[in-house]
Structures are given as C-alpha cells and as structure tokens.
Amino acid sequence: MNAAIVEGAVPELQPPHDTGGREPASNVAQGAWVLYEWANQTYFSLITIFLFPPFFTGVLAANPIQGQAYWGYVQAVSGISIALMSPLLGAMADAAGPRKPWIVFSMLFCAAGCFGLWFAVPGQPLLPVALALIVAAIGMELTIIFANAMLPTIASDRRIGLLSGIGIGVGQLAAIVALILVLLLLQLPGEVQAPFIPDEPLFGLSKEAHETDRIVGPISGVWFVVFMLPLLFFVPDQKGRGLGRRAAAKAGVMRLWSTIRSVRHFRNVGLYLVARMIFYDGMTAIFVFGGILASSIFHWGAMEMAVYGIWVTLFAAFGAFVGGWVDLKIGSKRTLVWALIGVLLTFLLLLSFDRDRIFYVVEVAVAPDAKAFSTLPQQLFLLTVGLFGMMVGPVIASSRTMMARISPREMMTEFFGLFALVGKATAWIAPLFIGIVTEATQNQRYGLMVTAPMILAGLLLFLLVKEERATSVVH
C-alpha cells in the first residue's frame, strides 16, 4: 500500500509514489538541501583541487615530482578507507532510519581533519599532514553519502535531476566565493594596492611562514560546519525505527550481505555503478591533478592558482546549471554520455600544452620573464580547462541523479553507500598509478595519461545501462 505524501513531511519509508504534482517536502527543505552543496564545495576547491595541492607538492614536498607522487598516495589511502567503510555505514543508516546523527558525526570528523592542516609547516614531516588529509576526506565522503540519500525522500522523480544540478551549480558558486575571498584577503594584500584590498593579509597572517596557505584548512572546516546547519534544521529526516547502535549495526550487516547476495536482481544498477566507478575515477583524478600540473608547468603561485580556480569553477558552475536543465529535458543517461565525451576530448587537448608549446608539436616563443596568463600557451590552456570544467559539472550532477533514478526507494541510503563504495573502490587506483608512473617516468604529464583509457572504458560500459528504477527485494 502506498504511503501518503504529505507536503513538508517525509514518511517513514517512501515507496514509489504518485505525488499528484506536489513535492514530498517543502521548497524550504529542498533549498536547505541544495545549500549543503554550498557547504561542502569549499573543501574540494581549497583543499583537494586548487590551493592546498600546489602547496603540498611545491613547498611541503622535496620537489613537484615527489609531491605529485605522494599526493597520489594520500588520495589512494583515503579512497581505500572510504571504500571499506561506506557501504556498511550506509546499510546501518538505512536500518536505523534517521540520517542526521550520522551526518553530524561525519561532518565534525571532516572539520577536525581540516583544522589539522594548519600544522602543515614546511620542513616538518609529511605524515601528520597526510593523516589530516585522510581524516578530512573520510569525513567529507561519509557526509555526502548520507546527505545524497536524503534527496529522493524530499523531491519527486521529476525534480531530483533539477535539484541535483542546481546543487552542484550552487556548490561551484560557493567555490568561486571562497576563492575570491582567499584572493582578496590573503594573497593580494601587499601585492596589489586597491581600495577593497587590505594592506596586509587577514589577521596579520604571514606569507613567509606560509600561514596564508595553511589557513585554507581551518577556513574550509568552519565553512562546512556553518553551512551544513540549514540541512540539519530544515530538511525532514527519516523516522527512527527504535534500533540501538548495536542492533542497527547487526541489521546493517545483514542488510548489506543480503543486498550483495541479491546482486543479480540489481544487474542494471550494478552495471551503472561499475561504469561510473571507472569514468568518474578518471575524471576526478584529472580535476585534482590538473591544478598540480598547471602550477608546475607555468610556475603559478598561490595567487595565480586562486585565479585559475575561480576561472575553472565558473565554467563548472555554468555547466552544472545547464546540465541540470538538460537532465530534466532529455534524461540523465544522454546528459552523461555527451558530457563524458566532452571531458575526454578537452582532457586530451589539455595535455598538449607546455610552457612554450601548444597542440603537442607547435613551438611558441615565450620570454623567460613572461608574466602569468600573458603567453599563448597559458591562455589556450585556460580556455581549454574552462571547457573541461563546463563538461565536469553535468557529469557530477547527472551521475548522482542517475543513481537516484534507478535505485529502489526503500534501500536508498544503502545504495548510496554502494554508490560511494564503487566510487571509491577504484578511486585509489588512478591516484596510485599516477603516483607510480610519475615517479617512474619523472614526468607529470605521463602520470596523468593513465586516466584517458579509464574514462573511455567507463563511457562504453555506461552505454549498456538502462534508465529505469529497480525494485527492492525483501530482506
């Protein structure tokens, strides 16, 4: 029997339903969920993609080659840890009911890791920095599992694609705002004289001691906690099922084992998860390591990397907003196929640029003292990476929407746990191989090339996936 759909309230379990044109939760609740993307994106833009990686590879490590390799190993350890934890915790959350207690714990766990990056002092051992990065990554990914699983319970099938795209776009805008604030308040003071730029960095932080680089960790932690509060206050949660922690753990293990045993029943979902695992891992590695490559090739510092991050994120935000609208019109599968083709082509073009070379073979005269962004190779690189970002936005949004469209409603958190599992089960492979190949060849570009066949293989496998919802099995 179908559960009633009450405006602004979430039933204990929502089976497939006809909303009669209404949404299962209020616009305020849906807006609060979208704001969770604003909360988490600063972590990715400041810590994992644009600012902290070049600091890690260019300052904390002995040299950029060693730095790229070690960064790959850190990402690999994080991925393995998340892969081992996420499906069980997802199943436990489904068994217990409410997702918010899990969100609070994982959110604070992530914030603790972010604050630990303040102690990333040059000349000190890299192990404590690596541990802080791993803790932050685990906390963030677990938070995303539980928050993503709330989307299908607060939005209709028709609207989840649009909300997912808006969420990704809002997250990209958050990254832009954060990068602009870092640029104006930390990097430009003392370098540029303007009425809206302070004379010295915020709080008197020292550039010489790299405090302006290390502070991005605490900034990301505070931002994440503060902007997660609307989700905790306004998004309705699943009802509790009266299970204690031990009972929920036992029920979660049994539920997960039953799901694994019944994998044949979910062949289409399994095929999608494997395809996404392959193409998403390759794409994410490009996004993370692309900034490291750019800073090394063009000798960009923190200020230039902040500008670079703003540029890429603007295009990713535009792509996510447009991708959400396209997803609404043509569906998740076709949106993903076209976006992945764009990702692959722009990546191959990105690899063609060097300090004094374009399109692999065309040499360009570049003055030794040329300023940042003033040379043709840099300008073409920026144009291409902008197009790459515009393709990444729809892939992020529609891959999540695709999962919400084809998973059984009654097992949504569990399947988003599996979504995270297969997203991380091989997420360590690309960074690990990038690290190995980079060290073996002493070439950062060769290290990144391992991602292209992954994206192509994932795309070809994804073509076999059907965009239809699976039915649940009785546990």
Determine the distance from the C-alpha atom of residue 334 to the mean position of all C-alpha atoms in its chain, rounded to a whole number. Answer: 21
The whole-angstrom separation of Cα 400 and Cα 45 is: 19
Name every residue whose Cβ is closer than 8 Å to that of residue 242 and which is 6 or more positions away in sequence. Answer: none
Q: In terms of C-beta density within 10 A (0-12 exposed, 13-18 middle, 19 or more buried), how is residue 74 classed?
A: buried
- pLDDT value for 237: 79
Residue closest to 396 by CA, chosen among 85, 37, 46: 37
pLDDT at residue 115 in the model: 97
Strand stretches in 317-412, DSSP E = 357-358, 362-363
pLDDT at 106: 93
User: Quick one: pLDDT at residue 420?
Assistant: 60
* pLDDT of the residue at 128: 93
CA distance 420 to 87: 7
pLDDT tens-place values along the chain, 475 residues long: 333 322 233 333 333 334 445 667 788 998 999 999 999 989 988 998 888 988 998 889 888 888 888 888 888 888 788 777 766 676 666 655 678 888 999 999 999 999 999 999 998 889 999 999 999 999 998 898 888 778 777 877 667 767 876 887 788 788 889 988 988 898 888 777 777 778 888 888 988 888 999 999 999 999 999 999 999 999 987 765 555 556 655 665 666 666 566 556 677 877 888 888 888 888 888 877 888 888 888 888 777 888 888 888 888 878 877 877 787 778 888 889 999 999 999 999 998 888 888 888 888 887 887 887 888 988 899 999 999 988 988 888 788 778 877 877 666 656 665 666 666 556 677 888 888 888 888 888 888 888 899 899 999 999 998 776 655 554 4
**Cα 341 from chain centroid (whole Å):** 20
Residues 69 and 126 sit within 8 Å (Cβ to Cβ): no
DSSP 8-state secondary structure symbol assigned to residue 203: G
Query: Coil, strand or helix: which one is 473?
Result: coil
Predicted confidence (pLDDT) per residue in 7-29, tens digit: 233 333 333 334 445 667 788 99
Distance CA 443, CA 301 (A): 20
pTM for this predicted structure: 0.75
CA distance 248 to 251: 5
| Model pLDDT, residue 119 | 95
| CB of 238 closer than 8 Å to CB of 98 | yes
Look up tokens 């068994």; give the residue: 95
pLDDT for the residue 13: 33
